[in-house]
Protein backbone atom coordinates (compact mmCIF):
# COMPACT_ATOMS: atom_id res chain seq x y z
CA UNK A 1 0.00 0.00 0.00
CA UNK A 2 2.92 2.35 0.55
CA UNK A 3 4.68 1.69 -2.79
CA UNK A 4 2.92 4.31 -4.87
CA UNK A 5 3.62 7.26 -2.53
CA UNK A 6 7.27 6.22 -2.25
CA UNK A 7 7.61 6.13 -6.04
CA UNK A 8 5.94 9.51 -6.33
CA UNK A 9 8.33 11.05 -3.85
CA UNK A 10 11.31 9.54 -5.65
CA UNK A 11 10.06 10.85 -8.98
CA UNK A 12 9.56 14.32 -7.56
CA UNK A 13 13.06 14.38 -6.09
CA UNK A 14 14.66 13.32 -9.37
CA UNK A 15 12.56 15.79 -11.32
CA UNK A 16 13.76 18.66 -9.16
CA UNK A 17 17.36 18.30 -10.32
CA UNK A 18 18.95 21.40 -11.85
CA UNK A 19 19.14 21.42 -15.67
CA UNK A 20 22.53 21.40 -17.34
CA UNK A 21 23.73 24.94 -18.11
CA UNK A 22 23.78 25.81 -21.81
CA UNK A 23 27.18 25.59 -23.55
CA UNK A 24 29.28 28.72 -23.25
CA UNK A 25 29.57 30.11 -26.83
CA UNK A 26 32.86 31.83 -25.99
CA UNK A 27 34.40 28.58 -24.81
CA UNK A 28 32.96 26.71 -27.79
CA UNK A 29 34.47 29.20 -30.22
CA UNK A 30 37.86 29.06 -28.46
CA UNK A 31 37.83 25.25 -28.60
CA UNK A 32 36.93 25.32 -32.29
CA UNK A 33 39.75 27.73 -33.18
CA UNK A 34 42.22 25.65 -31.17
CA UNK A 35 41.07 22.49 -32.97
CA UNK A 36 41.44 24.14 -36.37
CA UNK A 37 44.90 25.42 -35.46
CA UNK A 38 46.02 21.97 -34.36
CA UNK A 39 44.54 20.31 -37.46
CA UNK A 40 46.78 22.32 -39.80
CA UNK A 41 50.09 21.79 -38.02
CA UNK A 42 52.65 20.54 -40.55
CA UNK A 43 54.92 17.52 -40.46
CA UNK A 44 58.39 17.24 -41.99
CA UNK A 45 58.79 14.97 -44.99
CA UNK A 46 62.03 13.13 -45.58
CA UNK A 47 61.54 13.20 -49.36
CA UNK A 48 60.33 16.73 -50.12
CA UNK A 49 62.50 19.32 -51.89
CA UNK A 50 60.67 22.60 -51.43
CA UNK A 51 60.38 25.20 -54.16
CA UNK A 52 58.18 28.23 -54.64
CA UNK A 53 56.06 28.26 -57.80
CA UNK A 54 53.99 31.17 -59.10
CA UNK A 55 54.14 34.82 -58.14
CA UNK A 56 56.68 36.36 -55.79
CA UNK A 57 53.97 37.33 -53.28
CA UNK A 58 50.22 36.70 -53.54
CA UNK A 59 49.73 33.84 -55.99
CA UNK A 60 52.94 31.99 -55.14
CA UNK A 61 52.85 28.58 -53.46
CA UNK A 62 55.45 26.33 -51.87
CA UNK A 63 55.35 22.77 -53.25
CA UNK A 64 57.57 19.69 -53.23
CA UNK A 65 59.49 20.08 -56.49
CA UNK A 66 60.52 16.43 -56.71
CA UNK A 67 57.03 15.07 -56.05
CA UNK A 68 55.24 16.48 -59.10
CA UNK A 69 56.93 14.29 -61.69
CA UNK A 70 54.26 11.62 -61.96
CA UNK A 71 51.44 14.14 -62.49
CA UNK A 72 49.44 13.48 -65.65
CA UNK A 73 47.33 16.64 -65.43
CA UNK A 74 47.26 19.93 -63.53
CA UNK A 75 44.27 21.79 -62.07
CA UNK A 76 44.33 25.46 -61.16
CA UNK A 77 41.19 26.88 -59.54
CA UNK A 78 40.80 30.64 -59.16
CA UNK A 79 42.73 32.37 -61.94
CA UNK A 80 41.76 36.03 -62.14
CA UNK A 81 43.64 36.49 -65.45
CA UNK A 82 46.97 35.13 -64.21
CA UNK A 83 48.20 31.63 -63.48
CA UNK A 84 51.96 31.59 -63.08
CA UNK A 85 51.64 28.49 -60.88
CA UNK A 86 49.83 26.45 -63.52
CA UNK A 87 51.75 27.79 -66.51
CA UNK A 88 55.12 27.09 -64.88
CA UNK A 89 54.30 23.50 -64.01
CA UNK A 90 52.56 22.86 -67.33
CA UNK A 91 55.60 24.06 -69.28
CA UNK A 92 57.97 22.03 -67.13
CA UNK A 93 56.02 18.78 -67.20
CA UNK A 94 54.50 19.23 -70.68
CA UNK A 95 51.12 18.34 -69.22
CA UNK A 96 47.86 20.26 -69.61
CA UNK A 97 46.76 22.71 -66.92
CA UNK A 98 43.00 23.03 -66.55
CA UNK A 99 42.26 26.59 -65.41
CA UNK A 100 38.91 27.35 -63.79
CA UNK A 101 37.33 30.75 -63.17
CA UNK A 102 33.76 31.96 -63.66
CA UNK A 103 34.27 35.53 -62.39
CA UNK A 104 37.20 36.76 -64.47
CA UNK A 105 37.03 35.18 -67.93
CA UNK A 106 40.26 36.71 -69.22
CA UNK A 107 42.64 33.97 -70.32
CA UNK A 108 46.12 34.12 -68.79
CA UNK A 109 49.13 34.53 -71.06
CA UNK A 110 50.56 31.04 -70.83
CA UNK A 111 53.27 29.49 -72.99
CA UNK A 112 52.37 25.98 -71.96
CA UNK A 113 49.33 23.73 -72.39
CA UNK A 114 46.46 25.72 -70.86
CA UNK A 115 42.82 24.66 -71.06
CA UNK A 116 40.57 27.43 -69.73
CA UNK A 117 37.11 26.63 -68.35
CA UNK A 118 34.53 29.37 -67.72
CA UNK A 119 33.36 27.57 -64.61
CA UNK A 120 33.89 27.62 -60.85
CA UNK A 121 34.18 24.82 -58.33
CA UNK A 122 31.65 23.96 -55.64
CA UNK A 123 29.79 21.13 -53.91
CA UNK A 124 27.26 20.59 -56.71
CA UNK A 125 26.54 21.29 -60.37
CA UNK A 126 24.51 24.50 -60.40
CA UNK A 127 24.26 27.99 -61.83
CA UNK A 128 24.44 30.91 -59.40
CA UNK A 129 23.83 34.45 -60.65
CA UNK A 130 24.55 33.26 -64.17
CA UNK A 131 27.83 31.56 -63.26
CA UNK A 132 28.35 27.83 -63.68
CA UNK A 133 29.69 25.68 -60.85
CA UNK A 134 30.52 21.99 -60.67
CA UNK A 135 32.37 19.53 -58.45
CA UNK A 136 36.03 18.61 -58.76
CA UNK A 137 34.96 15.02 -59.34
CA UNK A 138 32.76 15.95 -62.32
CA UNK A 139 35.33 18.32 -63.79
CA UNK A 140 38.12 15.75 -63.60
CA UNK A 141 35.90 13.11 -65.20
CA UNK A 142 34.73 15.46 -67.97
CA UNK A 143 38.36 16.20 -68.85
CA UNK A 144 39.13 12.50 -69.20
CA UNK A 145 41.31 12.51 -66.07
CA UNK A 146 39.35 10.07 -63.89
CA UNK A 147 41.88 7.81 -62.23
CA UNK A 148 44.88 9.87 -63.36
CA UNK A 149 47.48 11.44 -61.08
CA UNK A 150 46.92 15.19 -60.71
CA UNK A 151 48.49 18.17 -58.95
CA UNK A 152 46.06 20.88 -57.89
CA UNK A 153 45.97 24.48 -56.67
CA UNK A 154 42.79 26.10 -55.32
CA UNK A 155 42.19 29.74 -54.36
CA UNK A 156 38.45 30.29 -54.69
CA UNK A 157 37.53 32.76 -51.96
CA UNK A 158 35.60 30.40 -49.70
CA UNK A 159 34.13 27.79 -52.04
CA UNK A 160 36.94 25.43 -51.08
CA UNK A 161 35.32 24.40 -47.80
CA UNK A 162 32.11 22.98 -49.26
CA UNK A 163 34.07 21.44 -52.13
CA UNK A 164 36.25 19.41 -49.78
CA UNK A 165 33.38 18.48 -47.47
CA UNK A 166 31.67 16.75 -50.40
CA UNK A 167 34.65 15.52 -52.44
CA UNK A 168 34.81 11.71 -52.52
CA UNK A 169 37.89 10.20 -50.90
CA UNK A 170 38.54 8.36 -54.17
CA UNK A 171 39.05 11.73 -55.89
CA UNK A 172 41.34 12.97 -53.11
CA UNK A 173 43.49 9.88 -53.60
CA UNK A 174 44.15 10.92 -57.21
CA UNK A 175 45.83 14.14 -56.07
CA UNK A 176 49.58 13.99 -55.41
CA UNK A 177 49.89 17.56 -54.12
CA UNK A 178 47.18 20.02 -53.23
CA UNK A 179 47.85 23.71 -52.54
CA UNK A 180 44.86 25.51 -51.04
CA UNK A 181 44.19 28.99 -49.75
CA UNK A 182 41.47 28.66 -47.12
CA UNK A 183 39.22 31.63 -46.40
CA UNK A 184 37.51 31.95 -43.03
CA UNK A 185 37.94 30.11 -39.73
CA UNK A 186 34.66 30.34 -37.85
CA UNK A 187 32.35 27.61 -39.20
CA UNK A 188 32.18 24.41 -37.14
CA UNK A 189 32.49 22.09 -40.13
CA UNK A 190 35.84 23.59 -41.16
CA UNK A 191 37.68 21.21 -38.84
CA UNK A 192 35.73 18.35 -40.41
CA UNK A 193 36.86 19.45 -43.87
CA UNK A 194 40.52 19.60 -42.81
CA UNK A 195 40.31 16.21 -41.11
CA UNK A 196 38.79 14.68 -44.26
CA UNK A 197 41.81 15.94 -46.18
CA UNK A 198 44.18 14.69 -43.51
CA UNK A 199 42.81 11.18 -43.93
CA UNK A 200 44.52 11.15 -47.35
CA UNK A 201 47.22 13.84 -47.12
CA UNK A 202 50.03 15.01 -44.89
CA UNK A 203 49.95 18.71 -43.98
CA UNK A 204 53.43 19.76 -45.12
CA UNK A 205 53.44 23.57 -45.17
CA UNK A 206 51.27 26.32 -43.72
CA UNK A 207 51.46 30.02 -44.52
CA UNK A 208 49.16 32.71 -43.14
CA UNK A 209 47.98 35.46 -45.49
CA UNK A 210 48.96 38.83 -44.06
CA UNK A 211 46.09 40.56 -45.85
CA UNK A 212 43.95 38.90 -43.17
CA UNK A 213 45.99 39.09 -39.94
CA UNK A 214 43.63 39.09 -36.95
CA UNK A 215 44.14 39.12 -33.20
CA UNK A 216 40.63 37.84 -32.39
CA UNK A 217 41.04 34.30 -33.78
CA UNK A 218 44.00 33.11 -31.68
CA UNK A 219 45.83 30.78 -31.72
CA UNK A 220 45.41 31.33 -35.47
CA UNK A 221 47.19 34.54 -36.49
CA UNK A 222 44.98 35.20 -39.54
CA UNK A 223 41.60 34.29 -41.01
CA UNK A 224 43.10 33.24 -44.36
CA UNK A 225 45.84 30.65 -44.70
CA UNK A 226 47.57 28.53 -47.35
CA UNK A 227 48.21 24.83 -46.86
CA UNK A 228 50.28 22.36 -48.87
CA UNK A 229 48.91 18.82 -48.68
CA UNK A 230 50.98 15.89 -49.96
CA UNK A 231 49.41 12.49 -50.57
CA UNK A 232 50.35 9.96 -47.88
CA UNK A 233 51.14 7.41 -50.58
CA UNK A 234 53.84 9.77 -51.85
CA UNK A 235 55.21 11.73 -48.90
CA UNK A 236 57.39 10.01 -46.29
CA UNK A 237 57.35 11.56 -42.82
CA UNK A 238 60.79 12.03 -41.29
CA UNK A 239 60.74 10.30 -37.93
CA UNK A 240 61.51 12.84 -35.22
CA UNK A 241 61.86 15.62 -37.79
CA UNK A 242 60.55 19.10 -37.09
CA UNK A 243 59.24 21.33 -39.89
CA UNK A 244 60.81 24.72 -40.42
CA UNK A 245 58.06 27.24 -39.73
CA UNK A 246 57.74 29.70 -41.27
CA UNK A 247 59.15 28.19 -44.45
CA UNK A 248 61.91 30.49 -45.78
CA UNK A 249 60.46 30.12 -49.30
CA UNK A 250 57.14 31.61 -48.25
CA UNK A 251 56.65 35.34 -48.70
CA UNK A 252 54.12 37.87 -47.38
CA UNK A 253 51.06 38.05 -49.61
CA UNK A 254 51.29 41.82 -49.23
CA UNK A 255 54.86 43.04 -49.05
CA UNK A 256 53.75 46.40 -47.66
CA UNK A 257 52.04 44.97 -44.58
CA UNK A 258 53.49 43.44 -41.43
CA UNK A 259 53.58 39.65 -41.59
CA UNK A 260 51.81 37.48 -39.02
CA UNK A 261 53.11 33.91 -39.15
CA UNK A 262 52.18 31.76 -36.16
CA UNK A 263 54.28 29.64 -33.84
CA UNK A 264 53.58 25.96 -34.48
CA UNK A 265 52.57 23.50 -31.81
CA UNK A 266 55.14 20.72 -31.60
CA UNK A 267 53.41 17.47 -32.48
CA UNK A 268 53.93 14.36 -30.36
pLDDT at 174 over 90: yes
Alpha carbon distances (Å) from 158 to 31, 187, 220: 22, 11, 17
Architecture of domain 24-231: 3-Layer(aba) Sandwich (3.40)
Helix ranges restricted to H, the chain: 3-15, 25-39, 84-93, 136-142, 159-166, 169-172, 189-198
Give me the pLDDT at residue 51, please. Answer: 98
Which one, of 58, 39, 42, lies nearest residue 50 by Cα?
42
pTM here? 0.90
Q: What is the pLDDT of residues 150-161, one digit of tens each?
A: 999 999 999 999
Residues 24-50 have a mean pLDDT of 97
> For the chain, what are the domain ranges?
24-231
Determine the Cα–Cα distance for residues 139 and 146; give it in Å rounded to an integer: 9
Alpha carbon distances (Å) from 199 to 31, 108, 196, 230, 265: 21, 34, 5, 11, 20
Amino acid sequence: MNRVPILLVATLVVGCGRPEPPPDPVQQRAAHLQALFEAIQPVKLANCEFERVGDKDDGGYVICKNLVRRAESLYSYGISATDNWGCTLSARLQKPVHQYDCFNLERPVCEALPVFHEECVGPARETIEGRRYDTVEAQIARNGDAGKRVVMKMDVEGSEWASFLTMPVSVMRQIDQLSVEFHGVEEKDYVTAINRLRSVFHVVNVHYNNWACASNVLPLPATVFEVLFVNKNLGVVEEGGLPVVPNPLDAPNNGKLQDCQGTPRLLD
